[in-house]
């Protein structure tokens, strides 16, 4: 997706202290600043729940944060948490086993952020970086900064998009579930046990290719997204809905989804 628009792309695998293998994506420069020398400012972008690094580049270059920051002269790094499309490998565990999926955002805070941020800083030779998080990507950073003062020194500035401090004011179907069905939903997750929750699959690809690509289907998919996440936003590029649904949901664990 990055190379499609004429930008350089690197995919790097890193390993967390507890053995999860995560893939980072890097946009080292923009279209018009490839000759820039010296240390460039580094920005690290972290996705939200059921998302992945490709969310930062799923719009047109003029509308995607990953491309915009690269064109502005930043060294752009896109992170991925364990359990999503680019985080489904382990040094000893198989994603087919229940043990692989025994994690929540607590482990992302404890292991994933350390592994990713430390790798980026070591690779770029910088002491700190800019961090942009969305949704769960803000929750994990809020938690990390509040519990690890040494880590806090590595974050130059933290930009929180749709920050998660409480779910009290959410709208849509999630609001209904949180208010009226929470005990029952928790029981269902307990019965399901550790496992994968809403990954990319042939079903989501079929929906993207055959339902969301048509004129009527496009509006239908938009309505489903708004039903789940909240009321319609005029900031959404509806022509890109088939792209969004092709990459999202990106998967996580049932334990993380219920926490």
Residue-wise pLDDT for 24-59, tens only, equals: 999 999 988 876 767 899 999 999 988 999 999 998
> What pLDDT, on the 0 to 100 scale, is given for residue 38?
73
**In percent, how much of the chain has pLDDT > 70?**
70
DSSP SS3 for 244: helix
Q: How confident is the model at residue 158 (pLDDT cuts 50, 70, 90)?
A: very high
3-state helix, strand, coil split of the chain in percent (to 5) is 45, 15, 40
Q: Which residue has the higher pLDDT, 254 or 61?
A: 61
Helices (H), the chain: 65-71, 105-107, 113-124, 136-147, 149-152, 173-180, 182-192, 202-206, 215-229, 241-247, 254-257
> What pLDDT, on the 0 to 100 scale, is given for residue 214?
58
> What pLDDT, on the 0 to 100 scale, is given for residue 63?
92
Domains of the chain by residue range: 3-257
Task: Give the separation between CA 87 and CA 53, rounded to whole angstroms.
Answer: 11
Residue-wise pLDDT for 107-118, tens only, equals: 999 999 999 999
Give the domain 3-257 fold: Rossmann fold (3.40.50)
Where do we find the tokens 């989804």? 257
Q: How confident is the model at residue 198 (pLDDT cuts 50, 70, 90)?
A: low
């Amino acid at each position: 997706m990055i190379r499609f628009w004429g930008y350089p792309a690197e995919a790097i695998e890193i390993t967390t202290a507890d053995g999860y293998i995560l893939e980072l994506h890097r946009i080292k420069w923009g279209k018009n600043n490839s000759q820039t020398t010296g240390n460039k400012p580094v920005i690290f972008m972290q996705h939200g729940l059921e998302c992945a690094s490709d969310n930062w580049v799923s719009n047109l270059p003029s509308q995607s944060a990953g491309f915009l920051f690269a064109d502005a002269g930043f060294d752009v790094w896109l992170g991925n948490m364990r359990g999503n499309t680019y985080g489904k490998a382990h040094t000893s565990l198989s994603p087919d086993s229940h043990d692989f999926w025994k994690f929540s955002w607590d482990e992302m805070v404890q292991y994933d952020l350390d592994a990713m941020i430390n790798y980026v800083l070591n690779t770029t030779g910088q002491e700190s970086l800019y961090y942009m998080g969305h949704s769960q990507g803000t929750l994990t950073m809020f938690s990390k900064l509040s519990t690890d003062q040494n880590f806090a020194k590595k974050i130059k500035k933290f930009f929180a998009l749709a920050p998660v401090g409480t779910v009290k004011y959410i709208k849509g179907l999630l609001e209904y579930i949180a208010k009226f069905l929470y005990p029952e939903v928790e029981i269902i997750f307990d019965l399901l046990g550790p496992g994968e929750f809403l990954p990319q699959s042939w079903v989501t690809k079929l929906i993207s290719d055959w339902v969301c690509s048509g004129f009527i289907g496009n509006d239908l998919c938009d309505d489903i997204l708004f039903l789940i996440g909240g009321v319609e936003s005029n900031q959404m590029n509806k022509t890109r809905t088939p792209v969004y649904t092709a990459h999202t949901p990106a998967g996580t664990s049932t334990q993380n989804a219920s926490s």
